[in-house]
Amino acid sequence: MILGAGPAGVGTALGLRLHNYGGRTVLVEEEATPGGLSGCFGWRGHHVDFGAHRLSHNVPEIVALARRIVGPELHEPKNSQGLYFADRVLRFPPHLAEWLSPALLARLTLFGCGFLFAHIKSSFSADPENFVGAIKRMFGETMAEKLVLPMTAKVWGNPEGFSADFARQRFTVASPVQIITRIFNSKKDMTPPTFFYPEKGFGEIWSRMCEWLELRGAELGFGDRPTKIVVENNRVRRVEFANREAIEEDGLELVSTIPLIELIPLLEGFEVDRQIEDAMAAVRVRSLHVGAFEFDTPGILPTKVVTFPDPAIPFTRIFEQNGFSRESVCEGKTVIVIERTVDKGGADDQRDDQTILDEMEKGLRQFSFMPMDKMSARTMQRKPYAYLVPEDRTTEAMQILNYRMGAITNLHLTGRFSDGEYDNCDYACEKGIFLGAMLSGKISEWDYILRLEANRGRVITG
Ligand SMILES: Cc1cc2nc3c(=O)[nH]c(=O)nc-3n(C[C@H](O)[C@H](O)[C@H](O)COP(=O)(O)OP(=O)(O)OC[C@H]3O[C@@H](n4cnc5c(N)ncnc54)[C@H](O)[C@@H]3O)c2cc1C
């Protein structure tokens, strides 16, 4: 029994089937479609992603699986990123002509000097102990303060309590020598040149995987959620649902990929003591607001994604849905998607959709490259769980909760808000496959632990 059909839940079901698990596999998801954060929503005939998603080359096994299951509809487009800085969109990899303005060159020289100085200084000083120190060490003071820390605050909140490890996992920086080598050897790109993306929006990967699973006998239930989980003698005995019959079977194994702080209140017959209550209260979450704006024109942005570190701009990134796949958006139209993150349940999160959309639209109107007279419709969606705040307090609380849930011997936690690992969708899916392999008896619990450990703290690119 698997709760949640995001990459971790779908991965677990795949892991069971790929390892010839002989028993029954049931996957229950509260939304109407699979994919979770990595999925899509349908709107006016378009397939719109919940935030810009790409399948990277990082886990070749998941790329191979996606190729096999999605087939010829999985394409390999080129990467193209833009950064809105000094009143213009700077393209990455750089287009030198756009970068040649005296004011911009002066700022870049400052960034470059700070960067070189930080790299020289790092050879003589100890490793920084906190996130801000680690970012300044990687990028230099000026670039850290003008670009990276403001961007971090927009995505994850105030970075004061974040760990240095999170900086090292989330940000990679080429050394000065590598950068100079690449400038003079243009064949080596500054960013990975391609990624994988299906025709009908990123969610197509997970819908195809679910079709594949159903054809092989898995039972999938969308639009449903668990309402009670009965625990007896440290084992889950019975799971009750809002819309389907309860599951109570000998040999039941329950895999949960849904937010742990939502799962724990459903447990009956398991004592939630003070330590668990305190840990649940300490978990801080950021929510995602996704705005979609339709335009009567076939293309707008110079790059697929544009990032906005400036705190005065009311979103973190925008992307052109049709820049990822022309087929995901109706002919002749462009859908610009806006991402912004806010503290879950905070004042910003409690505002109504129209107010948030008005603010997003006002933000778009300040850019001369946006043809606002061609805008034909707008909508927004919310994902209440987008990021765990990467602060020590939240990380420790998730570790305590995971440890304490280990007392329920047939409950297995995996996925971003369940085991608390900061994962990309390919890692989440791969971890699910490992879990499926263990539950099918094809790898031992020891091998499973070793595989998780080997992957812990892997660098997230993107
Ligand atoms: C803005 C943004 C951009 C990203 N870009 C990329 C990228 O380019 N590439 C990449 O690889 N990764 C990217 N990621 C990360 C990726 O989205 C996650 O790693 C991945 O979706 C995590 O999968 P998961 O299954 O752990 O969680 P989720 O995707 O959150 O899935 C959990 C599932 O559980 C369901 N659920 C929750 N509660 C219940 C309940 N009570 N009952 C039943 N079902 C429930 C949810 O609806 C959801 O379907 C990005 C994330 C964000 C926020």
Q: What is the pLDDT of residues 344-364, one digit of tens each?
A: 999 999 999 999 999 999 999
Q: Cβ contacts of residue 37 below 8 Å, gap of 6+?
A: 6, 50, 51, 288, 383, 385, 386, 416, 425
Least confident of 78-82, 328-332, 406-410, 446-450: 78-82
Residue 191's pLDDT is what?
Answer: 56
* Digit-coded pLDDT (tens) for 277-320: 999 999 999 999 999 999 999 999 999 999 999 999 999 999 99
Q: Looking at the CA of residue 53, tell me the nearest atom of ligand 1.
A: 8
**Atom of ligand 1 minimally distant from the CA of 386:** 53
Q: Which atom of ligand 1 is nearest to the CA of 432?
A: 25
Residue 223 has pLDDT above 80, yes or no: yes
pLDDT-based confidence at 65, cuts 50/70/90?
very high
The residue whose C-alpha atom lies closest to atom 41 belonging to ligand 1 is: 225
**Alpha helix (H) residue ranges in 308-350:** 321-324
Nearest by Cα to 338 from 286, 369, 381: 381
Its CATH architecture, for the domain 2-78+199-282+391-455, is 3-Layer(bba) Sandwich (3.50)
What was the pLDDT predicted at 128? 82
**pLDDT score of 24 more than 90:** yes
Q: Is 210 exposed, middle or buried (0-12, 13-18, 19+ CB in 10 A)?
A: buried
Cis peptide before 93 (omega within 30 of 0): yes
Residues lining ligand 1, judged by CB closer than 6 Å?
Answer: 3-9, 28-31, 36-38, 51-54, 225-226, 257-259, 262, 288, 339, 385-386, 415-416, 423-426, 428, 462
Domain ranges of the chain: 2-78+199-282+391-455, 94-184, 285-381
Please report which confidence band the pLDDT of residue 391 belongs to, taking 50, 70 and 90 as the band edges: very high
**pLDDT-derived band of residue 189, with 50, 70 and 90 as boundaries?**
low
**3-state secondary structure (DSSP) of residue 429:** helix
Q: Residue 226 CA: which ligand 1 atom is closest? A: 42
* Cα angle 295, 297, 301; round to 5: 85
Beta strand pairing status for 285-295 and 334-343? Answer: antiparallel
Q: How far is the CA of 424 from the centre of ligand 1 (A)?
A: 9
Global pTM value: 0.94
Q: How many angstroms is it from 359 CA to the middle of ligand 1?
A: 26
Calculate how far, in angstroms, residue 416's C-alpha sits from the geometric centre of ligand 1.
Answer: 7
Domain spanning 285-381, CATH class: alpha beta
The larger pLDDT score, comparing residue 186 to residue 379, is at: 379
